[in-house]
Structure 1
């Protein structure tokens, strides 16, 4: 009887030549066996994934997350340092500009002092030359007045002599002096 059951079971899904009839996976006699092995395979895959693969994936993800967090923190730190460096640069630049303005002001003041001293020297030299020129002009005027007076005296004496008169030097000098005074 056992032989008949085997033959009957085999005959439902297997033909007389020993080949499967239709698609063997759809044979109703084999479905419980296929479900059993499906459940065993799924259980093995589940345990392999949960014990081996998923912990490795989780550790990689955690490592990546930690790396990203550390990189973001480092970037923030570098950003703060860059901002501090920029502020220090701006302060140094402002200080340098202030110092440069101070140096320019000092140089202008020094140049102005030197210029004032040179102008004072030049004014002094000009006033000395002017005084010398005025003295020379005064001497020339005095000499010219004396020369005009002498020429006037000689001319007056000659004119008087030309008209036939005789004029003494004292009278001619008094006449020329009176005429020159106005």
Structure 2
């Protein structure tokens, strides 16, 4: 190959310049270009790590907030159930008080009605002797029998067993 003819005196100078240019390029890349690229890569990796940490922190905060929300919901549900139970107990107690008041009022009305019935019965029983006397007199008058009022009353009283 003619490009690699080392017998040619220009080939040695080409190789020297090649080594000088590659050495200079290596020196520039190593000291200036690659450290900047490395710092950019390190900075990017650090920013990604910081973003991942922030995302983890946000996820943990979100999970904590969700747990707190669930706990608050459970507490509110418990309070609501307690309030409903208290309202039901109060309503039942009020209904029992109203039922007791109605029962007392009805018992008073029943007692009053029984008293009126007793009074009417006693009045009827008291007037039964008078009705029996009148009936006995009317029957005796129909039969054309004359009797003394005192004797009729005594006979009716004896027949009734002395109730009047």
Report TM bin, short chain: 0.7 to 0.9
Question: Greater CA deviation, 81-90 or 156-165?
Answer: 81-90
**Counterpart pick for 2:71 among 91, 99, 123:** 91
TM-superposed CA distance for 1:27, in Å, is 8.0
Q: Does 1:59 align with 2:39?
A: yes
SS of match in other structure, 2:139:
helix
**Counterpart pick for 2:94 among 114, 119, 128:** 114
Name the larger-Rg structure.
1
Question: Greater CA deviation, 142-151 or 75-84?
Answer: 142-151
Q: Does 1:143 align with 2:123?
A: yes
Alignment-derived partner of residue 169 in structure 1:
149
- CA deviation profile, 1:139-167 (whole Å, cap 9, x unmatched): 22233334554333322211111112123
Q: How many residues align?
A: 158
Q: Does 1:152 align with 2:132?
A: yes
SS of match in other structure, 1:165:
coil
Question: Greater CA deviation, 38-47 or 63-72?
Answer: 38-47
Paired with 2:149 and 2:14, the residues of 1 have a C-alpha distance of 173
**Counterpart pick for 1:129 among 68, 88, 109:** 109
SS of match in other structure, 1:167:
coil
Superposition TM-score, scaled by structure 2 size: 0.75
Paired with 1:176 and 1:104, the residues of 2 have a C-alpha distance of 72
Question: Greater CA deviation, 95-104 or 29-38?
Answer: 29-38
What is the aligned-residue RMSD (CA, Å)? 2.9
**Counterpart pick for 1:101 among 63, 70, 81:** 81
Runs of 5+ unmatched residues, structure 2? none
Runs of 5+ unmatched residues, structure 1? 1-24
SS of match in other structure, 1:164:
coil
How has the CA–CA distance of structure 1 residues 52 and 152 changed in structure 2, closer, same or farther, with 3 Å as cutoff? same
Superposition TM-score, scaled by structure 1 size: 0.69
Alignment-derived partner of residue 23 in structure 2:
43
